[in-house]
């Protein structure tokens, strides 16, 4: 049995969308962030970092959203969520997933928790503003990639990097230049929002459209 420990809209969104694409049964378990359940001893048994999400898959306990996405894609080749190993498409799949999880996502964390990076109010505001500016540049480059390729991030094939980008793009929705404000990204996000598995994942987390 699969279980996804989640909080609405958190880093569980991309794995959740993949679970819906795969279509096998799973259970959603709410982590009560409002009461700091992610910091509890019981939750830290699952993820010692105290971060959401965690996937339980049989006797496997797995944290890190991108690792969960890779695991789900590997275990369900019939869902075609990643290109064939050893191909150029697979290399680009790695490039995008690692860029999203290793470059864009940490900048999001800086944006949302700038008080972890500085002590006084002015410095905290500056950290947040710089993170937002860097994220805008990152979304500009993703816009360029979609402009010269598409319709998906890898081109013709939908893959796990698309839900991952959707999740991160959603997190930019309150920024001065949200991801959706760029023409190609806007059309891409509209297209993904129509995907039944994505709509089901949002519904499962109690999030209504528009998502971004």
Could you list the residues that contact ligand GSH (CB under 6 A)?
10-11, 38, 51-52, 63-65, 109
Residue with Cβ nearer ligand GSH (84 or 98): 98
Taking the C-alpha atoms of residue 160 and residue 93, their distance in angstroms, rounded to an integer, is: 8
Q: Which residue is nearest to ligand GSH (CB)?
A: 65
CA 73 centroid distance within chain? 15
CB of 97 to ligand GSH, least distance (A): 11
Q: Count of alpha carbons within 13 Å of 139, Cβ hemisphere only?
A: 32
CB of 7 to ligand GSH, least distance (A): 7
CB of 12 to ligand GSH, least distance (A): 8
Residue with Cβ nearer ligand GSH (55 or 142): 55
**Integer CA distances (angstroms), 64 to 70, 141, 175, 182, in order:** 10, 25, 25, 29
CB of 61 to ligand GSH, least distance (A): 13
Residue with Cβ nearer ligand GSH (89 or 124): 124
**Integer CA distances (angstroms), 42 to 18, 51, 190, in order:** 26, 12, 39
Residue with Cβ nearer ligand GSH (53 or 143): 53
Taking the C-alpha atoms of residue 158 and residue 181, their distance in angstroms, rounded to an integer, is: 22
């Amino acid at each position: 049995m699969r279980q996804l420990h989640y909080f609405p809209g958190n880093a569980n969104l991309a794995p959740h969308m993949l679970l819906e694409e795969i279509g096998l049964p799973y259970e959603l378990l709410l982590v009560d962030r409002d009461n700091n359940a992610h910091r509890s001893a019981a939750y830290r048994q699952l993820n010692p970092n105290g971060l959401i999400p965690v996937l339980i898959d049989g006797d496997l306990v797995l944290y890190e959203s991108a690792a969960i996405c890779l695991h789900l894609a590997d275990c369900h080749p019939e869902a075609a969520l990643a290109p064939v190993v050893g191909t150029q498409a697979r290399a680009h799949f790695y490039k995008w997933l690692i860029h999203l999880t290793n470059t864009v996502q940490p900048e999001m964390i800086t944006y949302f928790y700038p008080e972890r990076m500085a002590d006084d109010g002015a410095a905290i505001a500056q950290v947040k503003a710089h993170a937002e500016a860097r994220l805008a540049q990152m979304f500009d480059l993703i816009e360029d990639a979609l402009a010269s390729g598409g319709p998906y991030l890898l081109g013709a094939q939908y893959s796990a990097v698309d839900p991952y980008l959707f999740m991160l793009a959603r997190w930019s929705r309150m920024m001065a230049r949200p991801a959706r404000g760029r023409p190609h990204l806007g059309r891409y996000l509209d297209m993904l929002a129509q995907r039944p598995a994505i709509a089901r994942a949002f519904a499962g987390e109690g999030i209504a459209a528009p998502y971004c």
